[in-house]
Amino acid sequence: MADNTNVDPAILIALAENERKTLIERTPQWLLVLLFGSAIIAVWHAAVTFSGISQLVLPGPYQVLQDLIFTLHNLFTGGYVAHATWITLVEVVFGFMLAAAVGLGLGMIIGATAFGRKAIMPYVVAINTMPKVAFAPLFVAWFGFGIESKIMMAAFISFFPVTINTAAGLAATDSNMSMLFRSLEANRWQTLIKLQMPFATPYIFAGLKLAAVWSVIGVVVGEYMGGGEGLGELVRVAASQLRVGRVFAQILLLSLMGLSVFGFVTLLERYFVRWRR
Amino acid sequence: MQAPRPDGDAILRLNNVNKHYRRARKGQADIIHAAKDVSFELERGQVASLVGASGCGKSTVLKMIAGLIPPTGGDIRLNDQALTGPNEQIGIMFQQPTLLPWRSVLENVLLPIEIREGRKAAGLARERAMQLLEMAGLSDFANAVPAELSGGMAQRAAICRMLVTQPEILLLDEPFGALDEFTREQMNVEFERICQMRKATAIIVTHSIQEAIFLADSVFVMSPRPGRIVRRIEIDLPRPRTPDMITGSRFNEYVREIHDLLFGSGEEAAHG
């Protein structure tokens, strides 16, 4: 009941006392993020200025900003950075989609069949324990120096989280719900489509988000090993010329790309898992 | 209307039903006797409750009738046909509402029809489902998702889902055990009203003696493991049952009788 008229002022004072927050709790988050970032840049600037470290080894924030502006200008005026970004984006997107398809299929076999769980799962786990980047030269040998080897590398690195999460999600189905479906004489297909898959979607999306980030890693490793025309190749060249500021700017582009794919998956998740609170 | 049957009106008959479980422990297989020689008959329109301590096998008996677990001995007959698995004439609900969270309340109620007869049949049954939701006071929530429902409302939706295929027998496994005391009493009154309205045949598993008496025509009292039915008590209280009966003297005589069977004279239950 809204009854603010006859409240004892002592109670209001006590309430205000109860609700008192610290300075940090009252400050908006964006301001804190901005302040902390500025502090780091200030420390960075001071370190570079006073240590006398060479710009070739660690450029200061101002130099990096100049390189960033150059890179972004080149990107948006359709220069070589734009071409490299496009190539890498294509590789990431196809690598991610391949990983999602293979991971979903394999995960469904492992999660929904006893054979998959008992016979296939151990191999998937074994593959995951291998240092997968070590396979990069092989992928170049098998699939050439074009975008195919990078796509395969990205898919190879990132199919695992999708597989495991799909399988785990299918296996996690609420036992009461399974019992309900059995009492309704649901067949295996109905149980998979109407119960297990919807139940597993939050798990699957957690795997897809990991895969989104890992496929960027896979593409960059592929480009380091197999050359090509992507951003990874630009980073390699810039680093070999000791243009560290350029390297930073290009890595920022790569992380923005990872963030975009991640964001896209998050949007899909919001749509498909909107029932979850 | 149902035509009278030749040998009484027994719709469900359990004949010396037994259930053993195997439990592996330190490499040694233990055999657990969960339900022992359970026999009873249920007539059309009769409501029975199965009461006993936790772990006495009452849920096991219910799940065997639902065809969810096979017995290790004896037989279960529905309308004189042996039951070998889940059957569309049997509807079941559990302690948890188990509504699918990604479906609306109405779609949840229609789920049994969708699974048994397909999407099209489910579409045609919308009106029937809406009538059920109205009866349960949920018509305003037909398009809500389960997360928006309170515990009692979710359980009422689960009742609607159980009723939508118009099964001959309703099985309820501690249906209101997860609800608070007030909601539980309210649900008991409502469920009794629904049973009377539809002349339902039902078996309710519960560990609440009051609930067992309040809802049922007959209470089956079960002993601790191996679960046996030690007594069948006919509840001679007028319908509809009302909450004030719970404090009445006749009701309390039944409570005392069942309480004594469950707790008082342990020897009788252990040997018998």
What's residue B5's pLDDT? 44
- Domain assignment of residue A66, yes or no: no
Q: Can you tell me the mean pLDDT for A236-254? A: 92
Disruptive mutation site among B110, B115, B174 for chain A (greatest number of A CBs within 10 Å)? B115
Interchain contact A270–B (C-beta under 8 A): no
> Which residues from chain B sit within 8 angstroms of residue A169, using beta carbons?
none
Instruction: Tell which CATH classification among 1.10.3210.10, 3.40.190.10, 3.40.50.300, 3.90.1150.10 matches the domain B9-73+168-272.
Output: 3.40.50.300
Q: pLDDT tens across A14-49, in order? A: 888 888 888 888 889 999 999 999 999 999 999 998
Element containing residue B251 per DSSP (H, E)? helix B249-259
What's residue B1's pLDDT? 41
What's residue A195's pLDDT? 95
> Which residues from chain A sit within 8 angstroms of residue B114, using beta carbons?
194
What is the layout of strands, in order, in the sheet containing B81-82?
A: B28-43, B10-25, B73-78, B81-82
Partner-chain contact B66 A194, CB within 8 Å: no
* Residue B94 CB coordination number (10 Å): 25
Calpha distance A251→A255 (Å, rounded): 6
What's residue A92's pLDDT? 96
Give yes or no: residues A208 and A249 share one domain.
Answer: yes
Alpha carbon separation from A40 to A31, A45, A61, A275, B81 (Å, rounded): 14, 9, 10, 40, 79
**How many domains are there within chain A?**
2
How far does B264 lie from chain A, in Å, by closest CA? 34
Give yes or no: residues A101 and A184 share one domain.
Answer: yes
How far does B152 lie from chain A, in Å, by closest CA? 18
Three-state secondary structure of A145-171: CCHHHHHHHHHHHHHHHHHHHHHHHHH
Alpha carbon separation from B198 to A86, A115, B58, B166, B202 (Å, rounded): 67, 46, 25, 10, 11
Closest residue by Cα to residue A249 from A258, A241, A238, A260:
A238
pTM of the model: 0.82
Alpha carbon separation from A2 to A5, A6, A7, A12, B4 (Å, rounded): 9, 11, 11, 14, 62
Calpha distance A95→B173 (Å, rounded): 49
Q: Which long-range contacts (CB under 8 A, 24 or more apart) does B79-82 make?
A: B79/B11, B79/B168, B80/B13
Calpha distance A181→A189 (Å, rounded): 11
Partner-chain contact A186 B66, CB within 8 Å: no
Give yes or no: residues A46 and A81 share one domain.
Answer: no
How far does B86 lie from chain A, in Å, by closest CA? 5
Q: What percent of chain A has pLDDT over 90?
A: 76
Query: In this predicted model, which residue has the larger pLDDT, A198 or A274?
Result: A198
Residue type, B178: A
Give yes or no: residues A19 and A48 share one domain.
Answer: yes
Partner-chain contact A190 B94, CB within 8 Å: no
Nearest Cβ partner for A184 among B103, B116, B147: B116
> Which residues from chain B sit within 8 angstroms of residue A190, using beta carbons?
115
What's residue B8's pLDDT? 59
Nearest Cβ partner for B98 among A180, A190, A275: A180
How far does B55 lie from chain A, in Å, by closest CA? 18
Give yes or no: residues A91 and A38 share one domain.
Answer: no
Partner-chain contact B100 A181, CB within 8 Å: no
Interchain contact B119–A (C-beta under 8 A): no
Which residues on neighbouring strands pair with residue B81, listed in sequence order? B78
Partner-chain contact A194 B147, CB within 8 Å: no
Interchain contact A268–B (C-beta under 8 A): no
Where are chain B's structural domains? 9-73+168-272, 96-167
Partner-chain contact A184 B96, CB within 8 Å: no
Disruptive mutation site among A173, A175, A183, A205 for chain B (greatest number of B CBs within 10 Å)? A183
Nearest Cβ partner for B147 among A174, A183, A277: A277
Partner-chain contact A198 B92, CB within 8 Å: no
Say which residues have a Cβ less than 8 Å from residue A168's Cβ, sequence separation at least 6: A111, A200, A203
**Is the distance from CB of A168 to CB of A202 less than 8 angstroms?**
no
- Is pLDDT above 70 for A277? no
What's residue A143's pLDDT? 93
- Domain assignment of residue A67, yes or no: no
For residue B103, the SS3 value is: coil
> Which residues from chain A sit within 8 angstroms of residue B94, using beta carbons?
176, 179-180
Give yes or no: residues A154 and A18 share one domain.
Answer: no
* Mean of pLDDT over chain A: 92
What ipTM did this prediction achieve? 0.87
- Domain assignment of residue A277, yes or no: no
Partner-chain contact A176 B98, CB within 8 Å: yes
Partner-chain contact B115 A186, CB within 8 Å: yes
Give yes or no: residues A27 and A113 share one domain.
Answer: no
**β-pair type (B229-234, B218-222):** antiparallel
> Which residues from chain B sit within 8 angstroms of residue A275, using beta carbons?
101-103, 145, 147
Partner-chain contact B147 A275, CB within 8 Å: yes
Question: Tens digit of pLDDT per residue, chain B (272 long)?
Answer: 444 444 557 889 999 899 998 887 777 778 888 888 888 999 988 999 999 888 788 889 999 999 999 999 999 999 888 888 899 999 999 989 999 999 999 999 999 999 999 999 999 999 999 999 998 889 999 999 999 999 889 999 999 999 999 899 999 999 888 888 888 888 888 888 888 888 889 999 998 899 999 999 999 999 888 888 989 989 988 888 888 888 888 889 999 999 998 887 544 444 43
Calpha distance A93→A211 (Å, rounded): 11
Give yes or no: residues A184 and A124 share one domain.
Answer: yes
Q: pLDDT tens across A96-139, in order? A: 999 999 999 999 999 999 999 999 999 999 998 999 989 999 99
Partner-chain contact B68 A183, CB within 8 Å: yes
- Domain assignment of residue A68, yes or no: no
Domain of residue A125, residue span: 73-272
What's residue A4's pLDDT? 62
Query: In this predicted model, which residue has the larger pLDDT, A254 or B196?
Result: A254
Partner-chain contact A179 B94, CB within 8 Å: yes
Q: pLDDT class for A3, splitting at 50, 70, 90?
A: low
Interchain contact B191–A (C-beta under 8 A): no
What's residue A218's pLDDT? 95
Calpha distance B11→B17 (Å, rounded): 16
Q: pLDDT class for A228, splitting at 50, 70, 90?
A: confident
What's residue B227's pLDDT? 86
Give yes or no: residues A162 and A29 share one domain.
Answer: no
Calpha distance A78→B24 (Å, rounded): 69
